[in-house]
Structure 1
Amino acid sequence: MASSRHDTHRTTPVLPLDTVRESFALLAGGPEPLTVDGRRIRGLPPRHLPLDELRTLLLNPACPRLTRDAVWTLLVRRSRRDGAPWVLACAGMALPALAGVVRRLTDSLPGDSPDLQAEVVSGFLHALASVDVVRPRVLPRLRWAAYRQGHAALTRTLNSPTPVAPGFGPAVPRLPWGHPDLVLARAVREAVLTRTEADLIGSTRLDDTTVTDWADRHRTTPNAAYKTRRRAETRLAAYLHDEALDTTDDDPVASTAINALPRVASADPVSSRRTQKSRPGTAKNGPDSGLLTCGGSTTPSHSPSDPEVD
């Protein structure tokens, strides 16, 4: 039983923030602790301060911002001049801030994430080498650098497929993959939709805005707005369909995307009326229908009736 507990302990991953915490404890409380001369910085006790005591003083809300900035300016410069010990000292001094960043990023995730913690610490250390210490608010800027790198890593994780048994094929990632707002934003980036078309779809399909209200705000007619939305959703559906087909046949991501493609024709009064009026053999969709005689391009274009607003 003792051996089993020992083996379990050995296989438990060491979290990066725990490593920072342990290293800082050694630097601040070892036989030769790192200290900062408080006589050099206004607002600190006029003596050599161990780093753990210094951190406690800086965390006090009564500590002046100018004092905190002066301390962090000194710490950053020492890390660049004296190397690894002071780099670790800076990470330890910022540990409460880094732990707060990790908590904020992992509120919706179960358990601890060593990879995310590593990204947060990496973002902090990368900024430590380049942050401008002449400008004020040194620590907040270091914290935001750590947050940005951690957030980017978290977004990549949430957007990537997760291996599942059997065969460890790709599985549908957790949200926000496939969120309608993200789909519309990606379609705008890929030039499938204009910003106005994405706003029209998002406002009238996802929000409570009616087409008539949207048209009134954008100084166009409801009929023109319906036509614009129908054309835009047709292009969007084709784009999502082609994107899904680029994946493997047994990819559940592709299946989910294909099954979720909007049936836009039945939702629009304009397209519904046209469908009812059309009869087999009367639609001009053959090679000689004349659809491509003007301009000769299959690239979607916008008619003068389409509202285009930044």
Structure 2
Amino acid sequence: MSVIERGHLPGVPVSAHRNVPVADLHRFLIAPERTTTELDTAWEVLLERARRDADWQLVALGVAAPRLAQIAARTAGRVYVAVREEIAAAVLGGFAEALLTVTPESGRGLIAHQLLRRAQAAGQKVVDQRKAACKRQPTEAEREEHLPEPGTVGRGASHPDLALARLVARGVITAQEADLIGRHRIEGVTLRRLGAERGWYPMQATRALRAAEHKVARALGYAQPGTARRATVHTAEA
């Protein structure tokens, strides 16, 4: 908006007889009556100008922002809420890179869609990397660190996400259970909110968390039910 308010940017030619002011460009592009030719003409101008001027890069990103937000949210889904910000950053970065490097090809759809596909691929890469980290079989050294003797939990230097990923890799808990534990115990997200995101009844989140923590407690050798929460929190801090 600050770029637009400065008023230094010329309109975008979308046909031989029409220039669209920058402030009206987003409304113009999303209007249902737009033709393929008009859309591609506008994006050709945006690409050309964005590669010469940082202000036009911001304009192009601003125009695409609603679609980028949708892509990030759809890619993250419910399971990957814990890495939503990472996915959103990857989507934005992927689009910004495509804006400066992609050469549009005829026959591959609208220019905007070619750029957005790059953004979606960047976000999906983050998801795939997280899946691989959860499924990867740990090394012998990691197995030893993963299930320490009772009373020694919490002395490691691992990041909480990695500690939970090792639990998933060993089959102690599922990826969904790790996400539930991490978001509630580490990030402080309420069980009410976690349940609402998953479409659960109010007590379902509590029961699911309790069941996941008992699995962790048993794996770590804590026999008393009352130690489940302590074992889980110590593991997440490990």
TM band (smaller chain) = 0.5 to 0.7
Distance 1:131 1:57 in 2: 23
Partners of 2:9 and 2:69 lie apart in 1 by 22
1:55 lines up with 2:55 in the alignment: no
Q: CA RMSD in A?
A: 3.0
The structure-2 alpha-carbon separation of the partners of 1:157 and 1:134, relative to structure 1 and needing over 3 Å to count, comes to closer
Please identify the structure whose Cα radius of gyration is greater: 1
Q: What letter is aligned with 1:79? A: A
The one of 11, 15, 38 equivalent to 1:67 is: 38
2:3 to 7, 27, 40: 27
Task: Tell me the distance in 2 between the aligned counterparts of 1:134 and 1:53.
Answer: 27
CA gap of 1:255–1:76, structure 2 versus 1, over 3 A, is closer
Q: Report the identity percentage.
A: 20
Higher relative contact order (CA 8 A, sep 6+): 2
Task: Give the Cα–Cα distance (whole angstroms) in 1 for the partners of residues 171 and 124 of structure 2.
Answer: 29
- The corresponding residue for 1:110 is 81
Q: Does 1:151 align with 2:124?
A: yes
Question: Residue 102 of structure 1 aligns to which amino acid in structure 2?
Answer: A
Residues 12 and 45 of structure 2 are in contact (CA less than 8 Å); yes or no, is this contact kept in structure 1? no
- The offset of 1:155, in angstroms, is 2.3
Number of residue pairs matched by the alignment: 152
Deviations 1:254-300 (A, max 9, x none): 7963889xxxxxxxxxxxxxxxxxxxxxxxxxxxxxxxxxxxxxxxx
Aligned partners of 1:131 and 1:142 also within 8 Å: yes
Q: Does 1:139 align with 2:112?
A: yes
What are the superposed Cα offsets for residues 238-263 of structure 1, whole Å, 9 maximum, x if unpaired? xx6xx653524131537963889xxx
Structure 2 unaligned segments of length 5 or more: list them.
Answer: 148-165, 174-238
TM alignment of 1:167-206, pairs within 5 A: 173=134, 177=135
Which residue identity does 2:144 align to in structure 1? Answer: D
Distance 2:169 2:77 in 1: 27
CA contact (8 A) 2:12 2:22 kept: no
SS in 1 for 2:18: coil
Alignment check: 8 A CA contact 1:123 1:146 kept: yes
Q: Which runs of 5+ in 1 are unaligned?
A: 1-24, 161-172, 179-239, 261-310
Query: Does the C-alpha gap of structure 1 residues 111 and 256 become closer, same or farther in structure 2, counting only changes over 3 Å?
Result: closer
Structure 1 residues 57 and 110, CA, compared in 2 at 3 Å: closer, same or farther? same
Q: TM-score, normalised by structure 2?
A: 0.55
Contact preservation (8 Å) 1:33, 1:50: no
Query: What is the CA deviation profile of residues 92-124 of structure 1, one whole-angstrom value per residue up to 9, with x for unaligned ones?
Result: 111122111111112214378332211111111
Does residue 249 (structure 1) correspond to residue 222 (structure 2)? The answer is no
Would you say 1:46 and 2:18 are equivalent positions? yes
TM-score, length basis structure 1: 0.43
Q: 1:138 to 1:256 in 2, by over 3 A?
A: closer
SS at match of 1:249: helix
2:54 maps to amino acid:
A
